[in-house]
Chains A and B, each alone.
Chain A
């Protein structure tokens, strides 16, 4: 993207509705490839990453213009990687337990929410599952004390991640105990042909009802891949199970959904579609 920015639009915005504010410029420390953003309602802050600078940035909720972040995490102690294959283009915040969560270098890393500068992670989770490899997208369920992560399923025979998985096949979702640390067996792994997961991008969790809402943008490198959707699974699902709901198809007009967030008050699922450079809001009362 030639021009990085974070744009804020009114909830009821439609085609060509101008942004109510724009955050961009040198002082913001933003870069492109911000493939995630999280709003922390409790502390009125939002978080993004800068993968090129291997940094997690925290802004005040009302940030506007060329304004610097409140604080950022960056440095050798952080163990943060990022840019092309290592990740750090996604982030999650747990405002109940005051933690920032990222999936980087095949592990889930937890930082203090208020960390600033060169700070080591509080703990990390690595997958003790013969096939599941942790990816970059994380989402937290503070009610059930779970952390959900997108990743890939390696070949059962060779233990290696298949070419299909690397290119965008064999995607999966794993559910871990949020408080676990070290080499950890996932409580569940949702993956396989029936899930139709090729790869997982941004996820959101509706914790009161235990729904995992995950974007499935299809094979990487394709402009308009087939069978893209936003899938909804339960935190109690396990194995090769189809999504409970599949927000996608001709009515939805979704082509390549990559971002998703929930507006529980208005019972809406908000989706970012990268192929149409659009934000689509769906009334979806079933999950709320």
Chain B
């Protein structure tokens, strides 16, 4: 309502200015002869340009003066009048009268999509990429390869908009049979959304499931039709029926100090051997009890796939040899019995044996300047095409490797959503901001 009132007032002012301008222009046409006569009367010759007629010195200014304003900053009359308003009033103003709206002088933001997760529909040869910056799911052909000279690749479909409920979307799962796309929300909406294969644009999800706050990783046991989610805020793994929707209750929950779950992120399943793998950043508290916070080393904890309650892991992969550094999404290769892990803060992908335990080195590491991996948070295995996909939040890209890649290996393909020279800002859910006056820098935490 306030905006409408302001718009009406502004329209009135604009109309008045236009009327005055029209009157002046029409007056000018008819008044030239009169002005010429008046100038001759004042002993001046008409020149068609302004002339000095008289001069009077203005009094010296003293006291308050208007603030200097940046040329590109608008202000309202009311805002100007409010300068230096004294404290301690009991205002009776209404919301519509409160000044303050103005355009920003500057905006820092990343205008390009930035990928947090990846999943492949290898039957349809399409790849889904979670855009956690602009909020959406971008769909490309699986074999898309952005040429080095191209600014970026356009997606063939883009699921985005308020109806989709996509916001801080961080996890993806594609049902290879139905083609349904499962999207996990990391914050704010506390809702997992499921879209049909052909979803495009600002569309309602086919199904929604209310979830705990702060879900991150997703995995599905298709044999048992169970859906697993990691929950950062509750240091837990929750399990639902795969087709759960609305406020359906979960089937079981793994949670508690014995579990060693500590800011759990990625999850991978080995249904054949009945195992569940969880990656943990390490920040821990005991179900929010006061004063129980601690920092554990980063780890991969391994459980029976049906573990629930406060159950200790079967084994833990952790220690300096592991190279774990903010371990994020994981994937399991049943053929070689290997776990793939996006190692966010180390700009690497680590591959462990599924039976590894303790302080062990990864079997393979994909890392280095030629890999194109920077802050990887998403990973996906495509067994049909024997390809490994990595979503990097540090450089607007998803990169593809052979599953047996190792070392400083360049990707076989890259999908880029921004020019190659554009560094991803990776601002995400900025809940606070600080100004470092010494360095003239703005500090932005995610």
Is B121 interfacial (CB-CB < 8 Å)?
no
* Cα–Cα distance between A209 and B88 once the two chains are bound (Å): 11
A79 touching B290, Cβ below 8 Å: yes
The winner among A32, A35, A237 for most chain B CB atoms within 10 A is: A32
Chain A: minimal CB distance from B192 (Å): 14
Q: Determine, out of A145-153, A156-164, A228-236, the stretch whose residues face the partner at the interface.
A: A228-236
Question: Does B53 lie at the interface of the complex (its beta carbon under 8 Å from any beta carbon of A)?
Answer: no
**Which B residues lie within 8 Å of A32 (CB)?**
186, 232, 429, 446
Contact with B along A1-44 (1 / 0, CB 8 A): 11111111111111111111100111001111111111101001
A221 adjacent to B431 (CB under 8 Å): no
Chain A binding surface SS class: loop
A61 engages B432 (CB within 8 Å): no
Query: 1/0 contact trace for B404-442 toward A, CB 8 Å?
Result: 000000000000000000110111111111111111111
- Alpha-carbon gap, A33 to B84, bound state (A): 36
Complex: A260 Cα to B100 Cα, angstroms: 15
Contact, CB under 8 Å: B88 / A261 = no
- A223-B170 CB under 8 A given contacts A20-B441, A245-B98, A285-B69: no
Over the window 50-83 of chain A, the binary record of Cβ atoms lying under 8 Å from chain B Cβ atoms (1 yes, 0 no) is 1011110000011000100000001111111111
Q: Are B442 and A11 in contact (CB under 8 A)?
A: yes
Pick from A5, A235, A268: contact of B426, CB under 8 Å: A5
Partner-contacting stretch, out of B22-30, B31-39, B221-229, B293-301 = B293-301
Contacts of A82 in B (CB 8 A): 285, 288, 293
**Is B3 a contact partner of A272 (Cβ separation < 8 A)?**
no
Query: A3 and B432: CB pair below 8 A?
Result: no
Tally B residues with Cβ within 8 Å of A: 110
- Nearest CB on B from A171, distance (A): 15
Compute how far the CA of A247 lies from the CA of B220 in the bound complex, rounded to whole angstroms.
46
- Interface membership of chain A positions 234-251, coded 1 if the CB is closer than 8 angstroms to chain B and 0 otherwise: 111101011111111111
- Least Cβ–Cβ distance between B241 and chain A, in angstroms: 24
Whole-angstrom distance between the alpha carbons of A249 and B187 in the complex? 25
Does the CB pair B425–A16 fall under 8 Å? Answer: yes
Q: Are B263 and A285 in contact, CB atoms less than 8 angstroms apart?
A: no
Which of A1, A8, A76 has most B Cβ within 10 Å?
Answer: A1
Give the docked Cα–Cα distance between A42 and B235 (Å): 37
Complex Cα distance, B3 from A260, in Å, reads 23
Write the B1-33 contact mask toward A (1 if CB under 8 angstroms, else 0).
011000000000000000000000000000000
A278→B283 contact, CB < 8 A = no
**Total contacting residues, chain A, CB less than 8 A:** 122
Contact A14 B107 (CB under 8 A): yes
- Expressed in whole angstroms, the Cα–Cα distance for A92 and B71 within the complex equals 34
Which of B100, B165, B233 has its CB near the most chain A CB atoms (within 10 A)?
Answer: B100
Which residues of B in the span 129-179 have a Cβ within 8 Å of any Cβ on A?
132-133, 162, 165, 167-168, 170
Q: Does A262 interact with chain B (Cβ within 8 Å)?
A: yes
Say yes or no: A236-B446 contact (C-beta < 8 A), given A14-B106, A39-B434. Answer: no
B88, closest chain A residue (CB): A236
**In the complex where A54-B293, A74-B293 touch, is A252 in contact with B103 (Cβ < 8 A)?**
yes
Against A, the Cβ 8 Å flags (1 = close, 0 = not) of B102-119 are 111111111110001100
Q: Mark B67-86, 1 if CB is under 8 A from A, else 0.
A: 11110011000010011110
| A37 surroundings in chain B (CB, below 8 A) | 432-434, 443-445
User: When the two chains form their complex, are residues B233 and A52 in contact, meaning their CB atoms are under 8 A apart?
Assistant: yes
Stretch at the interface among B89-97, B196-204, B268-276, B357-365: B89-97
A224 lies within 8 A of chain B by Cβ: yes
A202 within 8 A of B: yes
Q: A17-B108, A61-B439 are in contact. Are A53 and B284 (CB under 8 A)?
A: yes
- Contact flag A246-B439 (CB < 8 Å), given A1-B446, A26-B325, A279-B444: no
Please measure, in the bound complex, the distance between the C-alpha atom of A39 and the C-alpha atom of B298, giving whole angstroms.
28
Q: Give CA–CA (A16, B425) in the complex, Å.
A: 7
CB of B213 closer than 8 Å to a CB of A: yes
Query: How distant is A195 from chain B, measured CB to nearest CB, in Å?
Result: 10
> Looking at the complex, which one of A6, A41, A243 makes contact with B445 (CB distance below 8 Å)?
A6
User: With the chains together, A54 CA to B443 CA distance in Å?
Assistant: 22
Chain B contacts of A258 at CB under 8 A?
430-432
Contacts of A74 in B (CB 8 A): 293-295
Do B436 and A39 touch across chains, with their CB atoms under 8 A apart? yes
Q: How far is the CA of A150 from the CA of B108 in the complex (A)?
A: 27
Most chain B CB atoms below 10 A, which of A209, A260, A272:
A272
Q: In whole angstroms, what is the CA distance A79 to B326 when docked? A: 27
Which of B233, B294, B432 is the one whose CB lies under 8 Å from A272? B432
- Chain B residue numbers with a CB within 8 Å of A249 are 2-3, 100-101
Pick the residue among B103, B283, B285, B433 that contacts A271 (CB under 8 A): B433
Contact A265 B288, CB 8 Å, known A3-B446, A84-B233: no
> Across the interface, which residues of B come within 8 angstroms of A79, CB to CB?
290-291
- Which residues of the partner chain B approach A155 to less than 8 Å between Cβ atoms? none
Distance of A189 Cα from B212 Cα, bound (Å): 33
Q: B165's contact among A10, A18, A223, A259, by CB below 8 Å, is which?
A: A223
A276 interfacial by beta-carbon distance below 8 Å:
yes
Return the chain B residue nearest A265 by Cβ. B437
A137–B21 alpha-carbon span in the complex (Å): 52
**Lowest 5 CB-CB distances: which A-B pairs, in order?**
A54-B293, A35-B431, A249-B101, A278-B109, A34-B445
Interface pairs (27), CB distance under 8 Å: A2-B170, A7-B427, A10-B441, A16-B112, A18-B425, A24-B344, A31-B283, A32-B186, A36-B432, A41-B438, A44-B438, A48-B432, A66-B345, A75-B291, A79-B290, A82-B288, A83-B233, A220-B188, A237-B88, A239-B90, A258-B430, A273-B430, A274-B429, A277-B429, A279-B109, A281-B442, A283-B70
Q: Which residues of A contact B (CB under 8 A)?
A: 1-21, 24-26, 29-39, 41, 44, 46, 48, 50, 52-55, 61-62, 66, 74-86, 89-90, 105, 194, 196, 201-202, 209-211, 220-221, 223-224, 227, 229-230, 232, 234-237, 239, 241-253, 258-263, 265, 267-268, 270-286
